[in-house]
A and B are shown apart, each in its own frame.
Chain A
Amino acid sequence: MTALLEVENLRVSFPTRTGVVEAVRGVSFTLGRERLGIVGESGSGKSQTGRAIMGLTPEHGQISARKLEFNGIDLLKSSQAERRALRGGRIAMVLQDPKYSLNPVMTIGRQIVETLRTHEKVSGREARKRALDMLEAVQIRNPERVFDLYPHEVSGGMGQRAMIAMMLVAGPELLIADEPTSALDVTVQLEVLGILDQLVVERGMGLIFISHDLRLVSSFCDRIIVMYAGRIVEELRAGELANAKHPYTQGLLDCMPRIGKDRHPLPVLDRKPEWAL
């Protein structure tokens, strides 16, 4: 299996008035056509890693890496236009909250069509058909209707599906999903994950799945990266969660209440300063 994405020593920092914030500090990993999970607590740099790969780091942020290659394309050297052509076409990203990441004044259909027509020269009718197919593929029952709805007219779960459809319509090879389900109900959450899973399997797509829920990630992904303060502290196969070595990973696992396990008080994470070094 060839590597779809290679990341070596990725760094993202933000100069602010109170000093430089290093959001990502030397992250390295490779990704094949598989499901990679990134977990970590809030502020640990998960989203910034994903965005750096996409080329969506906020303007004042600074990126450096020894290597950032997608399918042999050196992302660091490519021009804005080349990055743009990749974005949404070959690499796509699902954002966290459908409530905010869909344009509120455009119908869902138009937003999907827009992606498609940005990357492929297709007729309006063709684009519409492909968008409808895509909506169906993400398990929307009544695509014709949803096509003409505005984002506020659909529920969170459906909005998230629309978002996924929008990002997948151009057939990307890599999908970065940044907490795609944390705004959703448990039951809906599983439906959405099911869709993503199916797409990976059917299309042979690479997936980076970002979440702070260790248990969810371990049940869904093939491989897990655990981040802490901008660094990778541990990399695991999903099945080996129980054998996690790093105390941070262990602590994360341990501190969650579990049905059937009566622990009072819950064990808490005792952060060690040396983890962040």
Chain B
Amino acid sequence: MSTTDTSIKPRRTNRRALAFFKSAAGFVVIVLTTYLGLLAVTFFIGRVVPIDPVLAIVGDRAPAHVVERVRQEMGLNLPYYQQFILYVKGVLQGDFGTSVLTTNPVMTDIRRVFPATMELATVGTIIGAVFGIPLGVLAAVKRGSLTDQIVRVIGLVGYSVPIFWLGLLGLLVFYAKLGWTGGPGRMDVVFEYTFTPVTGFYLIDAVINRDWAAFRDIFSHIILPGALLGYFSLAYISRMTRSFMLNELSQEYIVAARAKGLSETRIIWGHALRNAAVPLVTVIALSYAGLLEGSVLTETVFAWPGLGLYITNSLQNADMNAVLGGTIIIGSVFIAINLLSDVLYRILDPRTRN
């Protein structure tokens, strides 16, 4: 009879602290090596791209001596490894160099374009999650029914339709024909010179400025591309939710919950979904990261001055500082999102809280 209390796991604080440091150190190593890899790969790409970076600065018609001078100024005549070392040195000092295309320091540009993309991706993810999760749950609960099939087809269509296609169609219908939403861009020009960005997230800025007219306008602009991205993340989220829910619903603890006399609603939303939420966090995080990086086409269609467009444009002009900077930002966000989803995972799943 004495085994009762000793069978509770001993919690030794020093062990936990050690484990914490170990995992923190491991994390730092992971981040550092990932960064270095990112840098190296991007750098390599920058060198193999058959575009003369000088061209972007001086244009096609510059005299030969100007071309040569600029090439030297950019350090492009140095051996590759020296260029790489120089670059890494700069990055370590927080200097990502200057973008050729915009003439701004890359960091300045990114501070401008990244919030645009992030705001869009956030709205998209919120829409995707708010609609995707209930749909997924519904499909799982009514597995095999018509509802299930409909939800699946909605999701599959989301997986299968080219985004730029839907985007233009959406613009045509909701903006041009019906006039329900704002058009391309982040807001109407009327606000361009009255509105002062603070954080770069315009919705938030409008709230900070208490500029409700601007808020309405910004919202009407973001809702269409946001809904579009939201649909794509909905496709993914609802599908994964369905699969996680099916898994949870087949667990013994669901039977136990029924044996307790709980209502189905409570079992589904309180027990099964609460458990499915654990892996769902990762899914939502991944889909968020996907939206951050995968919105080039949406940004083109909606003239959204975002990161995807910035990177693509830079790449096409061999503006490698900008490409590297953008990639590192996306990489960092990816790492940060991974970290965040790990933390959330830990919060949501007591089994991993050691």
Is there any pair of Cβ atoms, one from A and one from B, under 8 angstroms apart in the complex? yes
- List the interface of chain A (C-beta within 8 A of B): 54, 56, 84-89, 92-93, 95-97, 100-107, 114-115, 118-119, 139-142, 145-146, 149-150, 152-155, 157-158, 163, 166-167, 170, 187-188, 191
**What is the chain B residue whose CB lies nearest that of A50?**
B259
User: Would you call the interface of chain B mostly helix, strand, loop, or mixed?
Assistant: helix
**B5 near A100 (CB under 8 angstroms)?**
no
Select which of B255, B259, B262, B275 is within 8 A of A114 by beta carbon.
Answer: B262
Q: Distance (Å) between the CB of B282 and the closest chain A CB?
A: 15
Residues on the B chain within 8 Å of A103, using CB: 253, 256-257, 271, 274-275
Residues on the A chain within 8 Å of B7, using CB: 154-155, 157-158
Per CB-CB distance, the 5 closest pairs between chain A and chain B, nearest first, are A88-B261, A155-B7, A88-B260, A100-B252, A87-B261
Binary interface encoding of chain B residues 1-18 relative to chain A, with 1 for a CB under 8 A from any of its CBs, else 0:
101110111000000000
- List the interface of chain B (C-beta within 8 A of A): 1, 3-5, 7-9, 251-253, 255-263, 266, 271, 274-275, 278, 348-351
Residues on the B chain within 8 Å of A101, using CB: 252-253, 255-256
**What is the chain B residue whose CB lies nearest that of A93?**
B259
Select which of B4, B8, B259, B348 is within 8 A of A87 by beta carbon.
Answer: B259
Question: How far is A89 from B271 in the complex, measured between Cα atoms in Å?
Answer: 19
Q: Distance (Å) between the CB of B140 and the closest chain A CB?
A: 13
**B256 near A188 (CB under 8 angstroms)?**
no
Question: With A105-B350, A187-B3 in contact, is A115–B8 under 8 Å at CB?
Answer: no
**A118 near B260 (CB under 8 angstroms)?**
yes
Residues on the A chain within 8 Å of B255, using CB: 56, 95, 101
**What is the chain B residue whose CB lies nearest that of A54?**
B259
**B256 near A163 (CB under 8 angstroms)?**
yes
Residues on the B chain within 8 Å of A150, using CB: 350-351
Given contacts A145-B8, A150-B350, 17 further A-B contacts (CB under 8 A): A54-B259, A56-B255, A56-B258, A95-B255, A95-B259, A100-B252, A100-B253, A103-B274, A104-B253, A105-B274, A106-B271, A114-B262, A139-B1, A139-B4, A141-B5, A158-B4, A167-B260
Q: Distance (Å) between the CB of B10 and the closest chain A CB?
A: 11
**A105 near B275 (CB under 8 angstroms)?**
yes
Residues on the A chain within 8 Å of B271, using CB: 103, 106
Residues on the A chain within 8 Å of B253, using CB: 100-104
Q: Distance (Å) between the CB of A60 and the closest chain B CB?
A: 10
